[in-house]
Amino acid sequence: MSAGPLTQVALQGLQTRCFGQRVFSFAEVGSTNDELRRLADAGAEEGTLVIAERQTAGRGRRGRVWHSPPDTGLWCSLLLRPPASLVPSLVPLLLGIAIARGIRACCGVPAFLKWPNDVLIAGLKVAGVLCEAGPGGLVAGFGVDVNQEEFPPELPAATSILLQRGRPTDRALLLRAVLEEAERLYLDACARGPAQLIAAATALLSTLGRQVEVQLEGETLRGLACGLEADGALQLEEEGGGQRLIRAGDVQHLDQVEPLDDLTGPL
């Protein structure tokens, strides 16, 4: 079931109007974000998706390398041109919600979010989002560790759905669920504003209500993560008093207490 290649054929039956209706699939690329950037700048339509079985130069936030071994994960980039009603800073959160919900629905494991855009299972990272803006539009790249049996020792905080679920996942099914959920959230936010998105993120964010350390460029903050602004910024009550809004940074949860979830709720 998991071994099938991720091609356009695998996406047949996708119930979207736009997201993933035009797919470019590759056996190997440097980075799917770079491939999609070229297509975007040449006028590709919104919703165009690039997928690859393997990336040789996959990248994460803050210049990190994104480990992208062959045939095991989802290495994808989706082209968006959000209207003014959807601030681009909400797109990483939107994709994180879609991935977490897709994992819950397809795999039956409780995935949560870590602000701003990591997806966690049991406190370990299973997916990340990297959005890059340019003249051709917003390239929203996402990587999901689906069927890896192991990770290199330099990634001790990484996990895969397989390791958490105990059996392989059909990547095409998962990708369809993620794209369908992402499009629903996107159309709703474009038409009605961000309230629903912020509510969904608040319900899934395991960061909220916890003591965190936030790594900014040249500064480290500690405090209680207490909520989200309408543009997705994190509200932090600093240890020494005072509130800060965090718009970019790396968050670390300072306790090991992950939320419990029996998957029966409406997340």
122 or 230, CB closer to ligand BTN?
Answer: 122
59 or 176, CB closer to ligand BTN?
Answer: 59
Instruction: Check binding of 249 to ligand BTN (CB under 6 A).
Output: no
Q: Least distance (Å) from ligand BTN to the CB of residue 239?
A: 26
Torsion of CA 180, 3, 263, 114, to 10 degrees: -70
Among 20, 47, 58, 96, binds ligand BTN (CB under 6 A): 58
66 or 112, CB closer to ligand BTN?
Answer: 66
Instruction: Check binding of 88 to ligand BTN (CB under 6 A).
Output: no
Closest CA to 182 of 103, 66, 116, 261: 103
Instruction: Check binding of 66 to ligand BTN (CB under 6 A).
Output: yes
Q: Least distance (Å) from ligand BTN to the CB of residue 83?
A: 24
Q: Least distance (Å) from ligand BTN to the CB of residue 59?
A: 4
CA angle 203, 207, 213 (to 5 degrees): 165
Among 16, 32, 159, 207, binds ligand BTN (CB under 6 A): 32
Q: Least distance (Å) from ligand BTN to the CB of residue 178?
A: 12
Instruction: Check binding of 38 to ligand BTN (CB under 6 A).
Output: no
Among 21, 22, 60, 165, binds ligand BTN (CB under 6 A): 60
Q: How far apart are CA 6 and CA 29, in angstroms?
A: 14
Which CA distances in Å does 259 have to 61, 152, 174, 203? 25, 27, 23, 11
The residues facing 143 across adjacent strands are 75, 128
Among 142, 177, 212, 249, binds ligand BTN (CB under 6 A): 142
Q: Which residue has the tokens 């681009």?
A: 88
Phi, psi of 47 (to 5 degrees): 95, -10
Closest CA to 19 of 145, 185, 201, 195: 185
Instruction: Check binding of 148 to ligand BTN (CB under 6 A).
Output: no
Among 6, 10, 25, 31, binds ligand BTN (CB under 6 A): 31
Instruction: Check binding of 116 to ligand BTN (CB under 6 A).
Output: no
Instruction: Check binding of 96 to ligand BTN (CB under 6 A).
Output: no
Among 77, 147, 148, 160, binds ligand BTN (CB under 6 A): 77
Instruction: Check binding of 75 to ligand BTN (CB under 6 A).
Output: yes
Instruction: Check binding of 175 to ligand BTN (CB under 6 A).
Output: no
Residues at the interface with ligand BTN (CB under 6 A): 31-33, 55, 58-61, 64, 66, 68, 75-77, 118, 128-130, 141-143
